[in-house]
Amino acid sequence: MEPNIVTGSFQLMKSLNRSVILNTIRKKGAISRADIAKTTKLTPPTVSNLVKELLETEMIIETSLGVSSGGRKPTLLTLNSEMFHVIGLDIGSHHLKILLTDINGRIRKKQIHPIPDSITNEGLLDLMITSIYTIQKNEQIDRDKIIGIGIGMHGIVDVDQGVSIFAPNLKLKNIRVKDVLEKEFQMMVQVENDARAMSLGELWFGNGHGNDSIVCINVGRGIGAGIIINGQVFRGEHYISGEIGHMVIDLNGPKCTCGNYGCLQTFASGPAIVERLNKELKLGESSILKNKENEIDGEVIYQAALAGDLLSQNVLNKAGRYLGVGVTNLIHIVNPKRIVISGGVSNAKEFILESVKETIEQRALTDSAKQTEVIISKFGEDATVMGAIALILSQLFATPSNN
């Protein structure tokens, strides 16, 4: 089965130009036909014709008149953000987060539903469906004004089939998300791994904005990366690109849940940090967390560090340095312009970020590699669900490549 060959045709030409114009409006905000022609190098009549069609489909609207510096005032065009909407879902281990946004990614409504323990495939799909109906009815938005449903979930996702192949934290396999939701709602459905969705979210709306080659690292219970190359999510052959949690950085390191030894995850994930702190406490290190062994989690350690607890600060710093080793390996392989760190552990940015940066500075091979930008996610907890929104928008605004 050959992949469809992209040939030049009138259709392609037109849809390419329509897409160029649409993206120009999206990126520049309110812009006149004349300015679109200038920035895209399309001729004014071409722009006028395609703008007319876009106005008819109500994808864009004429808003106001701009200022003139001598001459007719430009009529400014913007996306018709009131008209169309997108739904995003984040399927976590214990909660389903659902978001309704406009076409610019501005949030209209956010809801959270608990996911019962030992849920089945059908149960989860039902929960997704009812949550979508609920948010849609609450906000009274016609179904045909919703463009699509994006879903970010942990584990391994077959994006082409729209199937969650394995979701370890829910103990589920082969959930046919796309099929079921497309049948129920008759609209575009995109399913993606959480870290990869996240990275697209940061690219579109967050701290990756303006770049086209970033890596987003999700440090929480596990560690996963989403790799963006040329503005596209990079998935690899079997949808497991970016599984850096199981990158071996110490052949003689601690045993990992995956069976190997010295995976990055055993050094820098949330659980690894908690474990390290507990170990140090047992060894008799002094800390304000002494005798609170049962209450300790990531947030507690972070608060203790903020309160000046040296042991907590030290443990977080160390995690940052280990993470830095993994990040440096990643820089030497993928060499992105910017790395965005998100997930639970990134909350403790004051104690993590600097040691990651220092480690890169020490270890990277070249001056340019040392200059790789490392920043914290803009969205924190909401990174995945924003990414789910971006999944749909990136389809909507994609430049066509087949006819």
Partner DNA sequence: TTAATTAAATATAATTATAAACTATAATGT
Partner DNA sequence: ACATTATAGTTTATAATTATATTTAATTAA
Q: How far is the CB of 28 from DNA (least distance, A)?
A: 13
> What DSSP assignment string belongs to 171-191?
TEEEE-HHHHHHHHH-SEEEE
| 5, 10, 56, 283: which one binds DNA (CB under 7 A) | 10
Q: Report the 10 Å Cβ neighbour count for 9.
A: 10
From candidates 6, 65, 112, 306, binder to DNA by CB under 7 A: 65
In the numeric block, the tokens 């190997």 are attached to 260
* 229: its two tokens: 């190359």
Q: Which does 65 bind (CB under 5 to 8 A by kind): a second copy, DNA, none?
A: DNA
**Contact indicator for 160, 153 with CB cutoff of 8 Å:** no
Distances from the Cα of 346 to the Cα of 148, 233, 350, angstroms = 30, 22, 9
Could you count the other beta carbons within 10 Å of the beta carbon of residue 90?
A: 26
Binding residues for a second copy (CB under 8 A): 2, 5-10, 12-17, 20, 24, 39-42, 156, 166, 213, 225, 227, 229, 234-244, 246-253, 258, 260, 262, 325, 328-337, 363, 365-366, 368-369, 372, 399
> Are the C-beta atoms of 244 and 266 separated by less than 8 Å?
no
* Closest distance to DNA from the beta carbon of 50 (Å): 6
Question: Largest Cα–Cα distance of the chain, in whole Å?
Answer: 78
The bridge status of strand 60-65 relative to strand 223-229 is unpaired
Selection from DNA, a second copy, none that 365 binds (CB < 5 to 8 A by kind) is a second copy
Residue 161 partner contact from DNA, a second copy, none using kind-dependent CB cut-offs of 5 to 8 Å: none
23 binds DNA (CB under 7 A): no
Q: Which does 35 bind (CB under 5 to 8 A by kind): a second copy, DNA, none?
A: DNA
Is 33 a binding residue for DNA by CB under 7 A? The answer is yes
Cβ 56 to DNA, closest distance in Å? 12
User: Least distance in Å: CB of 10 to DNA?
Assistant: 3
Does residue 123 sit in helix, strand or coil? helix
Cβ–Cβ under 8 Å, residues 359 and 52 = no
Closer Cβ to DNA, 73 or 290, answer by number: 73
Q: How far apart are the first and last CA of the chain?
A: 17
Residues 56, 87: Cα–Cα separation, whole Å: 24
Starting at the earlier edge strand, list the strands of the sheet with 232-234.
232-234, 223-229, 213-219, 338-342, 373-376
The DSSP letter of residue 155 is S
Using the contact rule CB under 7 A, the part of the chain among 1-9, 132-140, 203-211, 294-302 near DNA is 1-9
Q: Please, which residue, 254 or 380, has the CB nearer to a second copy?
A: 254
- Least distance between DNA and beta carbon 45 (Å): 3
- Per CB under 7 A, contacts with DNA among 68-87 are 68-75
Cα separation, 403 vs 384, whole angstroms: 31
> Candidates 35-43, 165-173, 254-262, 394-402 — which segment interacts with DNA by CB under 7 A?
35-43
Cβ-based nearer residue to DNA, 65 or 112: 65
**Is residue 51 within the footprint of DNA (CB under 7 A)?**
yes
Binding residues for DNA, rule: CB under 7 A, are 7-11, 13-14, 17, 32-35, 42-46, 48-52, 65, 67-75
